[in-house]
Structure 1
Amino acid sequence: MTSPRSERRAARAARRADADGSGPTLGDTPRLRNPGAAGAFALFGEVLLVGLLVSLVSLPVLTLPAALAAGVRHLRRYIAADDSRVRFFWQDVRAALLPGLVVGLAAAVATVVLLIDIDLARSGFLPGGPVVGAIGWVGLAAVAVSLLFAASLWSPDLGWRGAIRAIPEAVRGDIAGAFYLLAAAGFVVVVTWMLPPLFVAGIGCAVLAVVSIPSRPRRR
């Protein structure tokens, strides 16, 4: 399996050969697997745009699942060089919003409960505090990864219920990918803690991770 870097290198070589007449014309050049990602600077700009859109939609917090799902679908369209006008992002937001509020509420409640458990474990009031604290951190990681997986799997046809039901199979099929998503979620938390406005860039990078991790080259 060729890597995206090899494909881009081959595409650049083909353009040079076409320009100097020593090789096939561009019409004979194989199509890149992710043609929308060929321009690194343009892709970076689109990631920032997605981060801004997701941040705006997720301001009420409970709308974060719908914002992530719409952002993932938008960036997939852009990377595939499909029609990625912003109006399609808003169409996905409208489709995902109301059912996604239930998912957002469940994630928010679970997060608050786990944070309270971690705080109590640190206070020393609970017996077995270190164990309770560890369980709390594992729970937070599970919530974050599940939310990113659900956003990756959601579509208007599948819906949130189908996306959530598909999470266990998706995790079993790509355990390493689940850890990569956990790292992406941790990155968002760290950069936001350092400087809150960096949440826009961080969440955009997390959406890019959700899109790119499943399609990465893997060893067989």
Structure 2
Amino acid sequence: MALQERRRERRRERGTTPAGRRSTAPDAPRGVGPSLALLGEVVVVGVVVALAVVPLVTALPALAAGALHLRAHVRGEADGLRALAGRLRAAGRRPWGASLIVGGLVLVLLVDLSVVLLSPSRPPAPALAALAAGAAVLVVLLRAAATWSPGEAWGPLVRRAADRSLDDLAGSLLVLLSLGLAALLVWMLLPLALVVGGLVVLAAVAVEMRPAAGGRPATDDA
């Protein structure tokens, strides 16, 4: 038995089959597993965000919990559905004032976007101005949600996100671009509304992890 084990070990080292033929099976691409796992978590977060946006006031806690969940996945921490549910509970405990603001903001953006798109002639300037201002505020809130941690107050968090948005205009433009692409995807295919929320959250988290935004590498524990 020991002799057979040594022979099998030598064949594995040489990459040959028991019949003496060298194996031609291609090696599995490196990094495919983690990439697919991240894609799965993005889809899960997208579904959660899509469901939470319906009542509007729960959108901000869902975005914050989704961002925390994706950061935990990248760092190798617990990322199951039970962990996500716990993060949703933690995110929904206190930010009702900020959630009401986000709900109103989303409603205003939808109305302004409808006015701009349905206008038969040149869109009215007030609607365009309100749409631009609402998009800027939404970028700040997304950047704040991307760095939220349980127990953190939303007031200071949003103020720091506003400062980062001004100091890191490239990152803010990237978040704004992700919002535009998400809207385009939904316009092209409505069922994609179930996943684009996860893509937007992933974009915000990636922007905040950039060195230009003062972010830390994804492998950090803090």
Cross-structure match for 1:97? 92
| Residue 209, structure 1, aligned to residue 203, structure 2 | yes
What percentage of aligned pairs have identical amino acids? Answer: 33
RMSD: 3.0
Give the secondary-structure state (helix, strand or coil) at the position aligned to 2:55: coil
* Aligned-pair CA distance for 1:75: 0.5
Q: What is the one-letter code of the residue matched to 2:103?
A: A
Question: Does structure 2 retain, via aligned residues, the 8 Å contact 1:57–1:63?
Answer: yes
Decide whether aligned partners of structure 1 residues 58 and 112 sit closer, same or farther in structure 2, where only a CA change above 3 A counts.
closer
Q: What is the one-letter code of the residue matched to 1:140?
A: G
Cross-structure match for 2:161? 167
Encode CA deviations 1:41-69: one digit per residue, 9 max, x unaligned: 22212211221222233332210100010
Separation in 2 of the partners of 1:111 and 1:57?
12
Encode CA deviations 1:73-103: one digit per residue, 9 max, x unaligned: 0000101112223222222211221433322
Decide whether aligned partners of structure 1 residues 114 and 215 sit closer, same or farther in structure 2, where only a CA change above 3 A counts.
closer
Q: 2:77 aligns with which of 70, 76, 82?
A: 82
| Residue 149, structure 1, aligned to residue 143, structure 2 | yes
Separation in 2 of the partners of 1:149 and 1:157?
17
* Aligned-pair CA distance for 1:191: 1.7
TM-score if structure 1 supplies the norm length? Answer: 0.70
Encode CA deviations 1:163-212: one digit per residue, 9 max, x unaligned: 22222222133211011011111122222223332012211111111111
The aligned length equals 182
Cross-structure match for 2:218? none
Q: What is the one-letter code of the residue matched to 1:70?
A: A
| Residue 71, structure 1, aligned to residue 66, structure 2 | yes
Question: Does structure 2 retain, via aligned residues, the 8 Å contact 1:37–1:43?
Answer: no
Q: What is the one-letter code of the residue matched to 1:135?
A: A
Cross-structure match for 1:60? 55
Question: Does structure 2 retain, via aligned residues, the 8 Å contact 1:48–1:204?
Answer: yes
Question: Does structure 1 retain, via aligned residues, the 8 Å contact 2:175–2:203?
Answer: yes
Where do residues 1-220 of structure 1 align in structure 2 (5 Å cutoff)?
A: 39-113=34-108, 119=115, 122=119, 130-216=124-210
Give the secondary-structure state (helix, strand or coil) at the position aligned to 1:39: helix
Cross-structure match for 1:23? none
Q: What is the one-letter code of the residue matched to 2:88?
A: V
TM-score if structure 2 supplies the norm length? Answer: 0.69
Between Structure 1 and Structure 2, whose CA radius of gyration is higher?
2
Decide whether aligned partners of structure 1 residues 192 and 83 sit closer, same or farther in structure 2, where only a CA change above 3 A counts.
same
Question: Does structure 1 retain, via aligned residues, the 8 Å contact 2:144–2:158?
Answer: yes
* Aligned-pair CA distance for 1:149: 1.4
